[in-house]
Structure 1
Amino acid sequence: MATLTATKLHYDIVGSFLRPNAIKQARADFAAKKIDQEQLTTGEDEAIRDLVAKEIDAGLKIVTDGEFRRSYWHLDTFWGFSGIAHTYADHGYLFHDEETRNDSAQVVGKIAFDPEHNDLKAFKFLNELVQDQPGIIARQSIPSPAQFYAELVRGVENEEALHKYYPDHAELVHDIGQAYHDLILALYDAGCRDVKLDDCTWGMVVDSDFWQEMTNGEFDRDALQDTYLELNNAAIEDLPEDLRISTHICRGNYHSTWAAKGGYAPVAGHLFAQEKVDAFYLEFDDERSGDFAPLAEVPAGTQVVLGLVTSKRPELEQKETLIKRINEATQYVPLENLSLSTQCGFASTEEGNQLTEQQQWDKIRLVVDTAQEVWGD
């Protein structure tokens, strides 16, 4: 049912929303030990109820909890696995003109799914809000296995910890794949029929300048892509047929800035042609993303969601321009297999991008209105 709805509607979102002031204050109070975990959770529950109502009012049929319970789009998920510790690196992630907070995730034991995983708890609450509303689907977004691996080898300390517990690469791939597979099946058992894997790894691979700086030129792009593909596909094989698995590819989204640049051509033969997902959510909001030509590698029948509306800047795009670009993409993917969305979420971390909540909802309504005009949804 999830696949049918997403395909028919042709409009979508990536998932994260600007955190309300009440959530920001509650998290600050919790960090300062002014409130306890139960009080924080109660505040999050209230904010998520309000968000979901707004999503439905905006015309969205696939809804999220805005990632309101997370600090980061990815690290919170990693910390929820057994064998992983919340650590701090010497530096945060380096973006175009900013450095993020320096949280990280490090191996401290064998990696496995924890039945008390925070994402599973978060989904159960979201699903309870919409399960009795016809036509509304609760989506759970999680960072990809490749992104998990990339974090575990980020920096010398993380690499040393990883090799201590996983000297054998095959065992590492197996355990990451199994941990993710078990998490996804637990989500399915809780009623989830739409899981999206958020993935910046491919967005970094396309940027030769980024890797030249990171590795001093010692960079085998094909070997790295083989590893990423192996990890992602291991996690999503042998899943129920009515579970829609998609992936969102991004070049970084933090406080309205970015981390990498480059078109999809260098990764199209691996990512588009071989990753076994039902849909690709792709960043196409400016020249950093390149042209549509690499979409020729997308297998027939696979959905492509064009992220043409930026979540980084407040200015509202022109509907006519969006329609023109959608038509350009039909050179490579049939119109019926295309959809429209924002290029990324509005708050991949709790800091959020530099626009207002009203501007956020204006962007979403533009996506819905444009899709209705193009596809007649």
Structure 2
Amino acid sequence: MVNSTVTKLHYDIVGSFLRPDELKKAREDFHSKKITAEELQKVENDLISRLVEKEKESGLKIVTDGEFRRSYWHLDTFWGFEGIEHVKPSHGYLFHDEETRADSARVVGKIKFKEDHPDLLAYKFLAKLVENDSEITARQSIPAPAQFYSELVRDEANTEALRKVYQDDDELIADIGTAYHELILALYEAGCRDIKLDDCTWGMVVDNNYWATRASEGLDRQEIQKVYLKVNNAALVDLPDDLRISTHVCRGNYHSTWAASGGYAPVADYLFAKENVSAFYLEFDDNRSGDFAPLTKVPEGKDVVLGLVTSKHPELESPESLIARVNEATQYVPLEHLQLSTQCGFASTEEGNKLSPEQQWAKIKLVIDTSKQIWK
């Protein structure tokens, strides 16, 4: 039986939280060699402990470490695998009106899981904080395997380095799948029963303007979806029955801006119909996300977590509008298989979105209070 905490509660979060100033300063001091790695870890441990207590006080039953140990939501995980190096490309990721810091992950050898992977170590600390509370589930979020694949072919330099090690995608996908599968099983052995795969690849595929550019480069929209599905599902085989695997689809979340736009229809036949997860965390906080109609492709019995409350801006949505939208979604997914959530995390990177900690917690309170009105 898959962990059903979310299904019972019908409210959730995506997982990252605004970084406290104390944490930002400690990371700056570490990079400038004013403090040691051990001193940085002590600050992280203290602030994560405080965050978990705040999550519990707010009424959350599924908690995270806020991604306080990460610089990015995805790259830190990639850097933790064997065969990957941290590189500085000439450009960062291009968002709607900003460019991110310039960091990437590049292949330098065969990709393998390492027993000291940072995500595994991070989870073990989080689990200890809640080990005596049977009502709390500790979740670990990791970037999807497809996101890893996408990063490795992100630009010409990455692709050139990749092909020196992997001449074809079959071997690459097999190694990514194995490395992720071993990470997932290691997390399970450490007690984790709830793992979320964060994935921007599908969010980029739905963007018609972005895809027109990629098509001019010779890429086929259907073929790349087959690749993304293959690499994700390669990691999701032979897993324990009581391990909940979900995925969150994002169109970019950096400093309150976005990278892609478009409804889910172009990817529904692959993502919804065929990815081996039990729940989909989906952005629906503005018109860029399209309507609910593609949810007809979600198989019977799987859950859809509606990201109707934006994490990008401080203004609070009205409970009435949220209730109306949930009711609208029941045309496509039964109410018992729907949940309410924020649209994304509050800080996918260290920079965080443009709202205060108080406004962040007000958003979470809105999610919880509104869900209790809908699912009485």
Report the TM-score when normalising by structure 1.
0.99
AA aligned to 1:78 is F
Which residue of 2 is the match for residue 96 of structure 1? 96
- Residues 188-211 of structure 1: CA deviation (Å, up to 9, x unaligned): 000000000000000000012112
Q: State whether residues 94 and 100 of structure 1, in contact with CA within 8 Å, keep that contact through their aligned partners in structure 2.
A: yes
SS of 1:269's partner is helix
Q: Output aligned runs, 1:237-248, within 5 Å.
A: 237-248=237-248
2:11 aligned with 1:11:
yes
Q: Percent identity?
A: 68
Which residue of 2 is the match for residue 324 of structure 1? 324
AA aligned to 1:167 is Q
Q: State whether residues 211 and 221 of structure 2, in contact with CA within 8 Å, keep that contact through their aligned partners in structure 1.
A: no
Question: CA shift at 1:168, angstroms?
Answer: 2.2
AA aligned to 1:54 is K
Question: CA shift at 1:216, angstroms?
Answer: 3.0
Which residue of 1 is the match for residue 276 of structure 2? 276
Which residue of 1 is the match for residue 46 of structure 2? 46
Which residue of 2 is the match for residue 155 of structure 1? 155
AA aligned to 2:122 is A
Matches of 1:88 and 1:169, distance apart in 2: 24
Label 1:215 to 1:25 Cα distance change in 2 as closer, same or farther (>3 A): farther
SS of 1:270's partner is helix
Which residue of 2 is the match for residue 23 of structure 1? 23
Q: State whether residues 211 and 217 of structure 1, in contact with CA within 8 Å, keep that contact through their aligned partners in structure 2.
A: no
Q: State whether residues 124 and 190 of structure 1, in contact with CA within 8 Å, keep that contact through their aligned partners in structure 2.
A: yes
Where does structure 1 differ by over 2 angstroms across 4 or more consecutive aligned residues? 211-219
AA aligned to 1:194 is D
SS of 1:179's partner is helix
Number of positions where the alignment pairs a residue of Structure 1 with one of Structure 2: 376
Q: State whether residues 215 and 221 of structure 2, in contact with CA within 8 Å, keep that contact through their aligned partners in structure 1.
A: no
SS of 1:46's partner is helix
Q: State whether residues 307 and 342 of structure 2, in contact with CA within 8 Å, keep that contact through their aligned partners in structure 1.
A: yes
Q: Output aligned runs, 1:341-360, within 5 Å.
A: 341-360=341-360
Q: State whether residues 212 and 218 of structure 1, in contact with CA within 8 Å, keep that contact through their aligned partners in structure 2.
A: no
Which residue of 1 is the match for residue 138 of structure 2? 138
2:225 aligned with 1:225:
yes
Matches of 1:67 and 1:5, distance apart in 2: 21
AA aligned to 1:91 is H
Matches of 2:348 and 2:222, distance apart in 1: 28
- Residues 345-369 of structure 1: CA deviation (Å, up to 9, x unaligned): 0000000000000000000000000
Matches of 2:84 and 2:217, distance apart in 1: 30
AA aligned to 1:203 is G
AA aligned to 1:138 is A
Which residue of 1 is the match for residue 180 of structure 2? 180
- Residues 27-81 of structure 1: CA deviation (Å, up to 9, x unaligned): 0100110000000000000000000000001100000000000000000000000
